[in-house]
Amino acid sequence: MTSTDLRVDIEEVRTKQDRLAAARGMLHAHFVGIDAVIDELCDAVAVWYLMPEVLSRPLVVNLWGMTGVGKTDLVRRLIGALQVQDRFVELELSNTDAESRFDLVAERLADAGVLDGGPAVLLVDEIQRFRTITPGGDPVGQTRFSDFWELLSDGRLARRESTDLDWLIATMRAARDEDARREGKKRTNAPAKGAVKTSAVGADKGLARNRKSAIGLWDARILRRVLGLTEPVEQLQWRTHEEALAMLESARADRRLVEPIDCSRFLVIVSGNLDEAFHMASATGEADVDADIFAAHTARVGMVDIKRALRRRFTPEQVARFGNVHIIYRSLSRADFQTLIAREVDRLSHTAYRRFGVRVTVTPAVHGLIYRNGVFPVQGVRPVLSSVGDIVGTPLATLLMDALLVGHPEVVLDYDARTGDVIGLAGGRETRFGAVGRIDRIRDQARADVIANVAIHEAGHAVAYAVLFGLVPLQLTAQATGDADGFLCAHDIHQTRDSMLRMATVALAGGLAEELIFGAEHASAGRSSDRERATALVLDSVRRLGFGAWGLDYGLEDAYATDASVTEPDAEALLCALSVRAVELLRGHRGALIGLGQALASAGSLTAPEVADILGRHGIAADVRPEGFQWSPPYAAALAAAVARHGLTVAR
């Protein structure tokens, strides 16, 4: 392209710049907690939106995040604000969806009428449902949407319609010949010259016979796809078979269908949730982990993690075609969820006032009730919105009706923590709506004996963690509502030979604490996942990382697979030694174990400062560190000391 090839309408570019800025502001006002994502996305699409003529290949932008963070909604709203809805196509790729009408991306784009060489947007949503290699690393036998990789590469889609073209030409010829035969028969049976039709019904039938020569909707759809036409199917269906045949033969004569389809001015947005990168995404039933902890964990997910996760689904060449524009959502923080709740409650209140003239006051206690029962951090906003409707929307409808009947201009919605009831006040009348906190009811159903068992188990983990790492757990809970009965939230631990064995000891300490306090015969099965974790750490240490007597990597597979069973005696001995270490540690801090267990059983959940206070009273000093803290040995100080010992100068 020379400097004279490109003509830029400056006024149009300025108009688009203003529209993009307005879209950015609108998105910031609408969404909660994703300001950085919005800015990254708007910046990424700016070149495509302002000057698509400069693109020589599609712009690929990837959006990654756990469910419910607003990936799809963000794209749709941005498209609407930029006023390019008529050039927007959505597609979900799947290996198994037999109900889809499309086997190629080009078929979907042709159906939408955007294969004319102009700018367009393709949203490829839920990409995690698509893969070209199995979890075991083998190629998937038959993959649909094979042209997806051509689109990501250079945007030039190979033509695959030659068979369709031949079939369609033959079909149209047969239909044309049939039209001619019918026309000849109609002329033979035509009324005598001068005869006049007097029946309107007869006229309608004549019109219907004429319309039979049109190709119809089905063939019009195929014709549009094969030729890449932009003419609407609703108009194309009235083309005669003769006209359609002429269009097909003309396309074959000038070889238009041999040239690749040019999609170089496309914006391709790939969106999905990769569980391999967001390991915490599987905790969908967990409502008791502090949202800030999940937010800190997801904030550490980077492009390397995303590419590693993609590599488990696609070949290296295919992973490369996703490019390097990876916009990663973190999960929402506690403050984000609180803002979302307040905004949704305010929306309901404003709607009530606008429609009925009734002012609605929702107390902070109700906001807290919504948070406790509606926030499942890894599920995003959907459960929260559902809980707002359940806890506020349903009672509010009854309250508004009461207020309108008595002519009272104000209603109040409150929460009775003693009974668990939501209370409505309208015109001096109190209405109780029962215990609407569904998750609170689950928590309240936990029996005291089970809570005591779980509390000691989790206290065992916490004591070992504090002693071995000098850190206080981020959060300690004994009344969890998720998959586990309780949990200890740890920091990001840099894996070393020593830290892996420490973490294995921490994992074992939970079940061993039960034995120490309640007796071995009363130890629960809650240790199963702990032992799995400890075993994995020990086996990785011995077999895969060489942190022992064995030199080979006994974790390799296929051609490099070895007899890993020879390492089992060493791994078993190491795990038993760690169990002894954990028991000695707990016995040495029995007072801290019992004190922390008792406090946890009473409160149900303890924050890091509360845990630190209890441990401190029993002689264990441990630091309270934030969610994003990473523990690691003091490598930098050790290197500096080594440099000083050898009299070396520090390189700058």
Tell which of 444, 466, 496 closes a domain.
444
On whether the CB atoms of residues 611 and 459 are closer than 8 A, the answer is no
Q: Are strands 120-125 and 156-157 parallel, antiparallel or unpaired?
A: unpaired
For 138: left if phi > 0, alpha if psi spans -120 to 50, otherwise beta; the answer is: beta
- CATH number of the domain bearing residue 590: 1.20.58.760
pLDDT of residue 140: 85
- 324, burial (CB in 10 Å: exposed 0-12, middle 13-18, buried 19+): exposed
Instruction: Find the distance separating the first CA and the last CA of the chain, reported in whole Å.
Output: 44
Q: Please give the Cα distance from 261 to 265 (Å, whole number).
A: 11
Residue 2 lies in a domain: no
Residues 18 and 141 in one domain: yes
Nearest to 64 by CA among 323, 283, 264: 323
pLDDT of residue 100: 66
Angle in degrees, CA 261, 267, 272, rounded to 5? 115
Nearest to 390 by CA among 371, 362, 370, 375: 370
Tell me the one-letter amino acid at 469: F
Residue 647 lies in a domain: no
Q: Please give the Cα distance from 258 to 266 (Å, whole number).
A: 21
Report DSSP state, residue 139.
Answer: B
Report DSSP state, residue 269.
Answer: E
Cα Rg for the chain, rounded, in angstroms? 34
Residues 477 and 561 in one domain: yes
Q: Please give the Cα distance from 235 to 239 (Å, whole number).
A: 8
Residues 374 and 353 in one domain: yes
Which residue reads 């607003």 in tokens? 70
Which residue reads 């109900």 in tokens? 99
The torsion angle over the Cα atoms of residues 579, 581, 583 and 588, rounded to 10 degrees, is -170
Tell which of 444, 467, 484 closes a domain.
444
Nearest to 466 by CA among 324, 578, 612, 366: 612
Residues 57 and 122 in one domain: yes
Residue 584 lies in a domain: yes
Q: Please, which contacts does 387-394 make with residues 24 or more away whose CB atoms are closer than 8 Å?
A: 388/341, 388/344, 388/345, 388/348, 390/436, 390/438, 391/366, 391/422, 391/436, 391/437, 392/345, 392/348, 392/362, 392/366, 393/348, 394/433, 394/436
Q: Please give the Cα distance from 465 to 503 (Å, whole number).
A: 8
SS3 percent helix, strand, coil of the chain, rounded to 5, is: 55, 10, 30
On whether the CB atoms of residues 104 and 164 are closer than 8 A, the answer is no
pLDDT of residue 47: 94
Residue 65 lies in a domain: yes
Residues 480 and 629 in one domain: yes
Q: Please give the Cα distance from 622 to 171 (Å, whole number).
A: 81
A 10 A CB-CB count for 236 gives 23
- Take residue 120 and report the two structure tokens written for it: 């367009």
Residues in the chain, pLDDT under 50:
1-3, 198-211, 483-485
Residue 5 lies in a domain: no
Residues 132 and 24 in one domain: yes
Residues 628 and 576 in one domain: yes
Residues 553 and 477 in one domain: yes
Q: Phi/psi of residue 326, each to 5°?
A: -115, 110
Residue 526 lies in a domain: yes
pLDDT of residue 220: 84
Q: Please give the Cα distance from 261 to 510 (Å, whole number).
A: 62
pLDDT of residue 483: 46
3-class state of residue 190 by DSSP: coil
Residues with Cβ within 8 Å of residue 45, at least 6 apart in sequence: 59, 61, 78, 267
Give residue-wise pLDDT tens across range 162-214.
556 677 788 888 888 887 887 777 666 666 555 555 444 444 444 444 445 78
CA atoms lying within 13 Å on the CB side of residue 83: 8
Angle in degrees, CA 26, 363, 420, rounded to 5? 120
- CATH number of the domain bearing residue 94: 3.40.50.300
3-class state of residue 390 by DSSP: helix
Residue 120 lies in a domain: yes
Nearest to 20 by CA among 52, 42, 48: 42
pLDDT of residue 650: 65
Residue 145 lies in a domain: yes
CA atoms lying within 13 Å on the CB side of residue 551: 0
pLDDT of residue 212: 53
Residues 272 and 251 in one domain: no
Give the residue ranges of DSSP H helices in 86-231: 105-112, 148-153, 162-188, 200-211, 216-227
Which residue reads 């709607």 in tokens? 351
pLDDT of residue 45: 96
Domain count, the chain: 4
pLDDT of residue 449: 87
Residues 100 and 131 in one domain: yes
On whether the CB atoms of residues 227 and 147 are closer than 8 A, the answer is no
Domain membership of residue 226 as a residue range: 171-189+201-259
Residues 459 and 496 in one domain: yes
- CATH number of the domain bearing residue 425: 1.10.8.60
Tell which of 328, 358, 385 closes a domain.
328
Buried b (16+ CB within 10 A) or exposed e, 244-274: bbebbeebeeeeebeeebebbbbbbbbbbbb
The alpha carbon dihedral of 391, 393, 394, 395 has a sign of positive
Angle in degrees, CA 111, 113, 118, rounded to 5? 140
- Take residue 195 and report the two structure tokens written for it: 């005869």
CA atoms lying within 13 Å on the CB side of residue 165: 19
On whether the CB atoms of residues 450 and 269 are closer than 8 A, the answer is no
Residues 253 and 309 in one domain: no
Angle in degrees, CA 535, 541, 546, rounded to 5? 150
On whether the CB atoms of residues 575 and 538 are closer than 8 A, the answer is yes
Nearest to 139 by CA among 285, 313, 264: 313
H or E, element range at 250: helix 241-253
